[in-house]
Amino acid sequence: MTKSKLPKRPVSGGTFAGERPLYFDYWRVGYGCSENYSLDFWVEQAGEYHCKPNHYLSHAEYQIERWSRFFYITDGTAQCNFAAQSIQLQVGDILITPPKNPFGYRSRRPSHYHWFALAGRCPALLSNPPRVLHFSPGHDLLLEANFVAIRETLILQPPGYPLKAIASFYDLMARLEALRNEEAIVASNYPDAVRNAMIFLQENYAQPFSAAETADSVHLSQSHLRALFEKWVGESPKRYHTRCRIEQARRFLYNQNLSVKVTANLVGFNDVSHFSRVFKQMMGFSPGTRILRSEKTREETGRPGREQTGETRLDRPARPRGR
């Protein structure tokens, strides 16, 4: 990871007594509590870390008696050493550690991960009895969006934020379960080159599309990769990349309540008008209309608007066309 890839958003969450600059190139952390709600568990901290090379951080003293911790690796690799086991983490891996499980996180090269910590009772839906869990769902935009939503909820702390954070936690678990169920049916049926190219495009949604770089990432010619995409995905790599951008924009507009202009810039569009046209072509309505309708529905009914809960093709991955 290079400095140019670091987010343009401001660092948030403090320096942790000067320690964070020693370990991270960038961090963004939010803090929460249960407020006056009677909750069995709540999100007490959430953040994202861009780790420096040769990074090592001991989690032995991070509230191990109280916290259930979730980690989602989106760049680089890492090794987590527990008392009785060692787990290798790659891009797209999720690690869940229940209370009383200290470990060390080590990465030789720069890495990036999202994380949050639950305080209170360890949720029974994780495992009973609680144990360390390791999943490899791959890099999924909806999973990442839920980690982002939890963190930004704690940073912004809108009214009822402890409940909003827990709602995003359940959305995350539902998405993880869906991916686990679909993995054997869908992901394994894609050729490796197509699946890896899809991951490459998802990870680089904010960058300008490059047919050459996409093909190089899977060691194929541009024409061969395009033919595979047309056969298995039903569209070109460029069209799929645009859908990744628009899907991420949809989450920015709702999960973080960002403006259309800011959202356009975050997903790689320099022209807001062009972004709005592409968004409307793919979603069926403009991003501004989507926000206004959702806000109006919440004010009148207290429930999210229909657009807010609508699914797109990225919400449910398309079945492979070829066999």
DSSP per residue over 257-275, as a string?
---HHHHHHHTT-S-HHHH
Q: Which of 223, 262, 268, 219 shows the shortest CA–CA distance to 245?
A: 268
Q: Mark residue 16 as left, alpha or beta (left: phi above 0; alpha: psi -120 to 50; beta: remaining).
A: left
Amino acid 150: pLDDT: 94
Order of strands across the sheet that contains 24-31: 24-31, 41-51, 111-120, 68-75, 94-97, 133-135
User: How far, in Å, CA of 254 to CA of 149, rounded?
Assistant: 9
Closest by CA to 76, choosing from 55, 101, 62, is 55
Per-residue tokens: 69 = 């911790």
Structure token pair of residue 34: 């249960």
- Pinpoint the residues of the chain covered by CATH 1.10.10.60: 189-309
The class that CATH gives domain 3-183 is: mainly beta
pLDDT at residue 208 in the model: 92
- State how far the Cα of 74 lies from the Cα of 207, in Å rounded to an integer: 16
Q: Say what the pLDDT of residue 320 is.
A: 52
The contacts of residue 224 (CB under 8 Å, 6+ apart) are: 215
Segment (H or E) for 23: helix 20-23
pLDDT in the model for residue 64: 64
- Portion of the chain with pLDDT greater than 70, in percent: 82
CATH topology of domain 189-309: Arc Repressor Mutant, subunit A (1.10.10)
DSSP label at 25? Answer: E
Nearest of 112, 73, 75, 76 to residue 96 by alpha carbon: 73
For residue 300, the model assigns a pLDDT of 43
Q: Which of 111, 132, 11 is nearest to 69 (CA)?
A: 132
What is the distance between the alpha carbons of residues 105 and 60, in angstroms, rounded to a whole number? 10
pLDDT tens string, the chain, 323 residues long: the values are 334 468 778 899 988 888 889 889 999 999 999 888 999 999 999 999 999 998 888 766 555 678 899 999 988 888 888 887 888 888 889 999 888 888 888 898 899 999 999 998 888 888 777 888 998 888 888 889 899 999 999 999 999 999 999 999 999 999 898 887 765 445 456 788 998 898 889 888 888 999 999 999 999 999 999 999 998 888 899 999 999 999 888 877 765 667 899 889 889 999 999 999 999 888 777 887 644 444 444 444 444 443 333 333 343 344 455 54
pTM check: above 0.85: no
**HSE value, Cβ hemisphere, 13 Å, CA-based, for 115:** 21
Residues of the chain with CATH 2.60.120.10: 3-183
